[in-house]
Amino acid sequence: MTSNAVPECLIDGQPANQVRVTDRGLNYGDGLFETLRVSQGSIALIDYHLARLQRGIQALRLQADIELIAEEWRDLAARMGAGVIKLTLTRGSGQRGYAIPADARTVRIQQCFPPANYPAAHAREGIRLFSCATRLAHQPLLAGIKHLNRLEQVLARSEWDDPQYAEGLVCDFQGLVVECTMSNLFARQDGIWLTPSLAQCGVRGVMREYLMNEMRAHGEQVEEVELQHSALLNASELFCCNSLFGVWPIIALDRHQWPVGPHSRYAQALAEQVIK
């Protein structure tokens, strides 16, 4: 890549915008993705993204060059200045059937987008959560990684179109709180931050990982737990987070309301340190 122009899409390092109809990502969701925030020519939380990508590659037994991916990310970020990069890795083309081809060749897709445009009021005033009926199934082999099978999230997000709701709460079939449709969740109770365990399902968001590490480093107690819905409702503060928007305080779910508290503001300040 020698031109200073930012490509809309690269496939295996070359400008392109099409994959083969036999691609296993298209046919089976056989692959991974990462969505990265670019600001001031650099990628927020790049080491966290690379660590999660490596976990996903190992879980799915994909062949991929992590160093090459990181090099492409940094080059694109420097040329973009600000925006969003989405990496998609698929297992490549194959014949009909689930069996992994012996000669499978991973396809690497890098897409470049303008900066995400979320209302500033979400961070300033907090958001209302929609209570989703869609439940997440347990699959420990896939828990935590950003695999391409996102139909549960698609269905959950399709449950509302009312702009008063910025996010939706998603539980598993046992009724345990897991996450929101595009972000992770933290609840403060008795002076401790609780975040749902993601051992069975859900995505280990990079902002979640960063905040857990930073809050613990600053003396906060943070625990990963099987979060009951009743415990969520009894929390003193709530927030959701991801690597694009940072932290949004949660002020309402159904008939329950919460203040935008000082501890959520502190988490927000930690997030803003890396998503300037």
Mean pLDDT by 10 residues, the chain (276 residues): 74 93 95 97 97 97 96 96 97 91 93 95 97 98 96 98 97 97 97 97 98 97 96 96 98 96 97 92
- d(CA 113, CA 4) in angstroms, rounded, equals 16
Interval 54-90: pLDDT, tens: 999 999 999 999 999 999 999 999 999 999 999 999 9
Beta strand extents in the chain (DSSP E only)? 9-11, 14-15, 31-39, 42-43, 83-90, 107-113, 127-136, 165-172, 177-180, 184-189, 192-196, 222-225, 237-242, 246-253, 256-257
Question: What pLDDT is recorded for position 7?
Answer: 85
Question: What pLDDT is recorded for position 1?
Answer: 44
Question: Global pTM?
Answer: 0.94
- The residue type found at 151 is L
Question: What pLDDT is recorded for position 140?
Answer: 97
Q: Taking Cα atoms as reference points, which of 210, 187, 248 lies closest to residue 52? A: 210
Question: What pLDDT is recorded for position 2?
Answer: 44
Is 159 noted as a catalytic residue in this protein?
A: no
Catalytic residue (choose from 146, 167, 195, 237)? 146
Question: What pLDDT is recorded for position 3?
Answer: 52
Question: What pLDDT is recorded for position 59?
Answer: 97
Catalytic residue (choose from 34, 152, 179, 237)? 179
Is 86 noted as a catalytic residue in this protein?
A: no
Catalytic residue (choose from 34, 35, 72, 220)? 35
Question: What pLDDT is recorded for position 95?
Answer: 85
Is 146 noted as a catalytic residue in this protein?
A: yes
- d(CA 109, CA 69) in angstroms, rounded, equals 10
Question: What pLDDT is recorded for position 70?
Answer: 97
